[in-house]
Amino acid sequence: MNLKPFLTILFLVAVVGCNAESTNNNKVNSTLGAEKHNKTTPTQQKSMSIDDSLKSFSETLNQKDPSKFISLTNSQGINLVRIFTSGNLGSRGAPLSQIVNPTTVTNEIAFPVEGQTAFDIPAMFPSLPIGSFQGVIHQKLQMPSNIPAYDQWTPILINSLKNIPEIENGAPIILASDKGDYWVFSDAQIIDDILVGGFAIFTIHNNTLKLTAIIELL
């Protein structure tokens, strides 16, 4: 009996089977590789989200778009804080700490304050506009376990920024809490151990980062 044709057929079947298995393995490995590449941690996702939020914030102040500003804020209210860390100098008025309705913002992206100059948000952030925030310095927000009211945040901000050399020249800095539930865009300087500048604070509301507070230290 001539087995050559039979053996030839078996060989071809084996080759085809191996090639098919190799192709399937390559597809599986390629899919797993893509999934691994695309997988991001919750912290990384929030980091990308704050970059997007800050880009919208920057564009809003640059364009002076009240409706866009309102869409970025916590609808329950935004905390406005103004503290004279360098002294009242006898004529600056009382410190400000109040929650306002975001819809009361003016076309200049400011909030009127009775008996004081308006809370002018674009003036607090001279580093803006910034096209991309991926290159902005990211540092840890030194958040205590008992989170104080926003008008008590000055020590938190100083402790978070004081060891960053760039703060002396007023470089913009993004601060993030360990849990990723507080993000702060700092546009400030430390001058003679006194922190001055603007701080935009974002927190999580319904799984979305919202502008919750703005602090001005003068």
Q: What is the pLDDT of residue 15?
A: 43
* Overall pTM surpassing 0.85 (yes/no): no
User: Which residue did the predictor score with more confidence, 110 or 95?
Assistant: 110
The encoded tokens of residue 86 equal: 């360098």
Per residue in 180-213, pLDDT (tens digit) is 899 999 999 998 889 999 999 999 988 889 999 9
User: Which residue did the predictor score with more confidence, 209 or 22?
Assistant: 209
State how far the Cα of 151 lies from the Cα of 98, in Å rounded to an integer.
9
Q: What is the pLDDT of residue 83?
A: 94
State how far the Cα of 75 lies from the Cα of 73, in Å rounded to an integer.
6
Per residue in 139-163, pLDDT (tens digit) is 999 999 899 999 999 999 999 999 9
State how far the Cα of 78 lies from the Cα of 66, in Å rounded to an integer.
14
Q: Distances in Å between the alpha carbon of 169 and those of 146, 196, 198?
A: 31, 12, 14
Q: What is the mean pLDDT of residues 166-190?
A: 94
Contacts of 87 (CB under 8 A, 6+ apart): none
Per residue in 65-107, pLDDT (tens digit) is 999 999 999 888 999 999 998 776 656 678 899 999 999 999 9
Q: Is 90 exposed, middle or buried (0-12, 13-18, 19+ CB in 10 A)?
A: exposed
Per residue in 32-63, pLDDT (tens digit) is 444 444 444 444 555 558 999 999 999 999 99
Q: Distances in Å between the alpha carbon of 98 and those of 35, 80, 93, 166, 204?
A: 46, 5, 15, 31, 20
User: Per-residue pLDDT for 28 more than 80?
Assistant: no
The encoded tokens of residue 122 equal: 């674009």
Q: Cβ(118)–Cβ(105) under 8 Å? A: no
Q: What is the mean pLDDT of residues 7-32?
A: 46
